[in-house]
Amino acid sequence: MNHPDEEMFDDLHQGVEALKEAASTQTIPLSQKAVESIQRLENAVPMVRSRFVALKKRIADQALRAAKKTNTAVREHPWLFTLSALGMGLLAGVAITSGENEEPSEG
């Protein structure tokens, strides 16, 4: 099974090929400008694919670096993060229960 990203680019490529075929068989009469646009689109698909792959890799690398920094910080200061999480949970609980205790106003 192909990765969804690969399927997306395969579908895009197939769409461009279908446009080229329609233009070449004159099934759909196209202007010269439309034919040139199809050609530019066909040439752009590999470039877009490579930029997409590079961007995905860069985002994954940045996420990994952030996860490593977070892991290091938690290991160096475990009590700080434990107490912070406890405090946030306490605040969330207070906010939820105070919202339940409010009586609806009649208007």
Task: Check residues 26 and 92 and name the one with the higher pLDDT.
Answer: 92
Percent of the chain whose pLDDT exceeds 90: 41
Instruction: Tell me the two tokens of residue 75.
Output: 């290991």
What does DSSP assign to residue 103? P
Q: Which residues contact 42 (CB under 8 A, 6 or more apart)?
A: 16, 17, 20
The answer to whether 2 and 10 are in contact (CB under 8 A) is: yes
Mean pLDDT of 78-94: 94
- pLDDT tens-digit readout, 46-71: 888 899 889 999 999 999 999 999 99
pTM of the model: 0.56
The domain spans of the chain are: 4-101
